[in-house]
A and B are shown apart, each in its own frame.
Chain A
Amino acid sequence: MRQDIFLAGSGLTRFGEWWEKSLRDLMSEAATAALRSSGMSPLEIDLVVVANMLAETANDQAGLGALASSLFPHRPPALRVEAACGSGSLALHTACAFLESGRAKTVLVLGAEKMTDAPANAVAEALMGAADGELDAPSGITFPGIFGLIGQRYMHEYDLTREQLSVVSAVHHRNAMDNPFAHFRQELSPEAVSASPLVSDPLRLFDCSPVSDGAAACILSTARRSPLRIAASQVASDTLSITERPTIVSFPATREAMSRALLEAGIERSDIRAVETHDCFSIAAVINVEDLGFAREGEGIRLYEEAYAGHPSLFVNMSGGLKACGHPVAATGLKQLIDAGKHLERASIRYGLAHNFGGAGAACGIHILENIEA
Chain B
Amino acid sequence: MNNCAPIIRRSLKREREKFLPGVVLSFTKLMHPPERFGRRPRIVGLIELENGRRVLGALLSDAFIGQSVRPRMRLSHVTAEGLRVYETAYEAAGKAVAPQAFPGYILALTGPSGVGKSTISRMLARAFSEYAASVPILTTREQKPGDEGEYVYTAREEFERLQRTGAIVAATRIPSSSEDRRYGYRAADIEAIWSAGKLPVVVTELHLLEDLARHYGRRAILSFGLLPPGRTKRAKLSQLLHRLRARGRDSEEHIRDRLKNAERDLAFFRERKDLFDHIVVNEDLSSMLDYMRKKVSGLSGA
User: Which residue of A is nearest B89, CB measured?
Assistant: A139
Do A140 and B28 contact each other (CB < 8 Å), given the known contacts A134-B11, A134-B14, A152-B65?
no
CA–CA, A136 and B53, complex, Å: 13
| Contact A140–B46 (Cβ < 8 Å) | no
Do A243 and B55 contact each other (CB < 8 Å), given the known contacts A145-B44, A153-B65?
yes
A67 CB within 8 Å of chain B = no
Contacts of B186 in A (CB 8 A): none
| Contact B87–A201 (Cβ < 8 Å) | no
Interface residues as binary, A238-249 with B (CB distance below 8 Å gives 1, 0 otherwise) = 000011100010
How many of B's residues come within 8 Å of A, CB to CB? 30
CA–CA, A243 and B49, complex, Å: 11
CA–CA, A141 and B54, complex, Å: 15
Contacts of A199 in B (CB 8 A): 30-32
Q: Which of A135, A141, A244 has the most CB of B within 10 A?
A: A141
User: Which residue of B is nearest A150, CB measured?
Assistant: B26
CA–CA, A121 and B35, complex, Å: 8
User: Which residue of B is nearest A204, CB measured?
Assistant: B31
How many of A's residues come within 8 Å of B, CB to CB? 34
Interface residues as binary, B198-234 with A (CB distance below 8 Å gives 1, 0 otherwise) = 0000000000000000000000000000000000000
| Contact B26–A140 (Cβ < 8 Å) | no
A125 CB within 8 Å of chain B = yes
B37 CB within 8 Å of chain A = yes
Interface residues as binary, B4-16 with A (CB distance below 8 Å gives 1, 0 otherwise) = 0000001100110
Closest 10 CB pairs of A and B: A148-B28, A139-B56, A153-B26, A201-B29, A243-B54, A149-B26, A140-B37, A200-B28, A152-B26, A145-B30
Q: Chain B: residues with CB nearer than 8 A to chain A?
A: 2, 10-11, 14-15, 25-35, 37, 42, 44-46, 53-58, 65, 76, 87
Can you report 22 residue pairs joining A to B where beta carbons are below 8 Å apart? Answer: A121-B32, A121-B34, A125-B34, A135-B14, A135-B56, A139-B55, A139-B58, A140-B34, A140-B44, A142-B30, A142-B32, A149-B26, A149-B44, A149-B45, A150-B26, A152-B65, A198-B29, A200-B28, A243-B54, A243-B55, A248-B25, A248-B46
Q: Chain A: residues with CB nearer than 8 A to chain B?
A: 121, 124-125, 128, 133-142, 144-145, 148-153, 156, 197-203, 242-244, 248
Further 13 A-B residue pairs, CB within 8 A, beyond A140-B34, A150-B26, A200-B30: A134-B10, A134-B11, A138-B11, A139-B55, A139-B57, A139-B87, A142-B30, A142-B32, A148-B29, A149-B26, A153-B65, A200-B29, A201-B29
